[in-house]
Amino acid sequence: MSHIRGRFKKAADKLVTEYTASIPFDWRLYPYDIVGSIAHARMLAKQGIISQKEAETIIKGLKSIQREIEKGEFQFKPELEDIHMNIEARLIEKVGEVGGKLHTARSRNDQVALDMRLFTKQAISDTLLSLRKFQRALISLAEANKDVIIPGYTHLQPAQPVLLAHHLLAYFEMLQRDVDRFSDCLRRTDVMPLGSGALAGVAYNIDREFLATELGFNRISQNSMDAVSDRDFVLEYEAAASICMMHLSRLAEEIILWSSAEFNFIELDEAYATGSSIMPQKKNPDVAELARGKTGRVYGKLMALLTTMKGLPLSYNKDMQEDKEGFFDTVDTILSTLEVFTGMIKSLRIKTENTKRAVERGYILATDLADYLVKKGEAFRTAHALVARLVSYAMEKGKSFSELSLAEYKKFSPRFERDVYSITIESSIAARDVVGGTAPKQVEWALARAKKIIGARGGK
Ligand code: ARG
């Protein structure tokens, strides 16, 4: 304990020790702390700052500490504040005074920045892999239901028919932007901060490029004060995670709607639904609801850290220890949400009998009727008004478009001919044959493109 109590004669108040300790949560950084320390020891020896033999002793000690932690035999002590001091104290206990040479040319400030960057790099790579798996599940569901047509909605009102695959591929696009955002965040995370020391750099002849290579970083930081006080990479991950959760939450909302008795478009697999403790008939979409709910918590962590950082003078401040719990929670939340969503999407069944009925209900082909008149020479605005009147007439009579006689059609426009009856749900879809449209040909092409994107960038 003496090494952090410094010039003090008194031990810290017990409450203060508990209040300031980060070990209850930052113990998770141990694998990164240990690889960082191993690389640092190697560099110190290479530069002649410590001897080769001393480095070997230190590295051996660090590796055995890693094993102790993995086996659950390591005793984490709150009075040692954080993961860095816990490991260092144990090292000295195991290898003696030479263990105290490890912290030469280093501070906990650049050390924690390193650990957090290594942790974030791993989190990004895990997130990208999970995003890929989820995108793959969406593609499979789209492919397995290629011919299914559903009502497309605006304002949650049936608007125009679309292929279910087209609807699902919209989420593929959103997730692809998430992939881009996380990948972009990686570029700024991939910067090695060691050598910044407490804030001003270190007074030893160290080799920062060697450290970067050893630890798999692309670049080294260029300003020591910035390097120890920068948490932009955490914020960027949290921002990307917030947007991604917003996408998942929108899909969750659709799954909740679609599995309601009112829509009844899908059947969730029983493994992905829950029952009610009082109403035996219920099958609740809890997974989707929770994902929608957890989105709020991910946004919250982003706002919390932005707020924590906003008033901080350079350089390191203890406030920054508050970055961890929220960040870890965000990483855990997005990874588990993606994983459970992947399983839910893979196992859900589309109730095609009901989607078919839903598309046939109402006047979903009204736009197509207007387009029909336009093709016969009517101005679109006039055609729109004519069909609007036709719809209200049909509603009054309680008839669908196909139940109206040609004479009835002709009351609204002489341009209507017998071929008006060839306007169908299928013809409506096929007509939207533009890039990005719902025509089967276009959707086929979009599916192929999506599969290529997934294939090209790898991931399981
Ligand atoms: N536990 C600290 C944190 O998470 C590590 C850095 C502490 N540095 C210091 N000078 N107290 O930020």
Q: Residues 29-60: pLDDT tens digits? A: 999 999 999 999 999 999 999 999 999 999 99
The CA 45 to ligand 1 mean position distance, Å, reads: 26
Identify whether 276 is a catalytic site residue. yes
Residue 115 has pLDDT above 90, yes or no: yes
pLDDT the model gives residue 384: 96
Residue 375 has pLDDT above 80, yes or no: yes
What does the alpha-carbon distance between residue 284 and residue 27 come to, in Å, rounded to a whole number?
Answer: 37
Task: Work out the average pLDDT over 326-345.
Answer: 98
SS3 per-residue string spanning 60-93: HHHHHHHHHHHCCCCCCCHHHCCHHHHHHHHHHH
The CA 296 to ligand 1 mean position distance, Å, reads: 28
Q: Quick check: helix, strand or coil at residue 160?
A: strand
The CA 81 to ligand 1 mean position distance, Å, reads: 9
Q: How many residues does the chain have?
A: 460
Tell me the C-alpha to C-alpha distance, in Å, between residue 262 and each of 227, 256, 313, 326. Answer: 55, 11, 55, 38
Any residues with CB less than 8 A from the CB of 292 and at least 6 apart, and which? 249, 252, 253, 256
300: tokens are 């919250």
What type of residue sits at position 22?
S
What b/e string do you get for 275-290 counting C-beta neighbours within 10 Å, with b at 16 or more? Answer: eeeeeeeeeebebbee
Task: Tell me the pLDDT band of 354, cut-offs 50, 70 and 90.
Answer: very high
Q: Give all strands (DSSP E) within 148-243, no chain letters.
A: 149-154, 157-163, 191-192, 219-220
* Closest-lying ligand 1 atom to the alpha carbon of residue 320: 12
Task: Work out the average pLDDT over 208-220.
Answer: 98
Phi-psi region of 6 (alpha: psi -120 to 50; beta: other; left: phi over 0): left
Identify whether 229 is a catalytic site residue. no
Q: Are 26 and 324 in contact (CB under 8 A)?
A: yes
What does the alpha-carbon distance between residue 188 and residue 458 come to, in Å, rounded to a whole number?
Answer: 22
What type of residue sits at position 238?
E
Which candidate, 304, 309, 114, places its Cα nearest to that of 228? 114
What b/e string do you get for 202-230 counting C-beta neighbours within 10 Å, with b at 16 or more? Answer: beeebbbeebbebbebeebbeebbebbbb
Give yes or no for residue 82 CB within 6 A of ligand 1: yes
212: tokens are 């970067």
Give yes or no for residue 112 CB within 6 A of ligand 1: yes
pLDDT the model gives residue 1: 46
Task: Work out the average pLDDT over 201-220.
Answer: 98
* Closest-lying ligand 1 atom to the alpha carbon of residue 22: 1
Which residue lies with its CA nearest to atom 3 of ligand 1?
Answer: 321
Give yes or no for residue 323 CB within 6 A of ligand 1: no
Residue 350 sits at φ, ψ, to 5 deg, of -90, 130
Task: Tell me the pLDDT band of 273, cut-offs 50, 70 and 90.
Answer: confident
What does the alpha-carbon distance between residue 290 and residue 288 come to, in Å, rounded to a whole number?
Answer: 5
Task: Work out the average pLDDT over 276-295.
Answer: 89
Task: Work out the average pLDDT over 348-356.
Answer: 96
What does the alpha-carbon distance between residue 449 and residue 456 come to, in Å, rounded to a whole number?
Answer: 10
Q: Are 189 and 127 in contact (CB under 8 A)?
A: no
pLDDT the model gives residue 458: 46
The CA 109 to ligand 1 mean position distance, Å, reads: 6
Which candidate, 197, 193, 196, 3, places its Cα nearest to that of 81? 3
Task: Work out the average pLDDT over 370-388.
Answer: 96
Q: Quick check: helix, strand or coil at residue 193?
A: coil
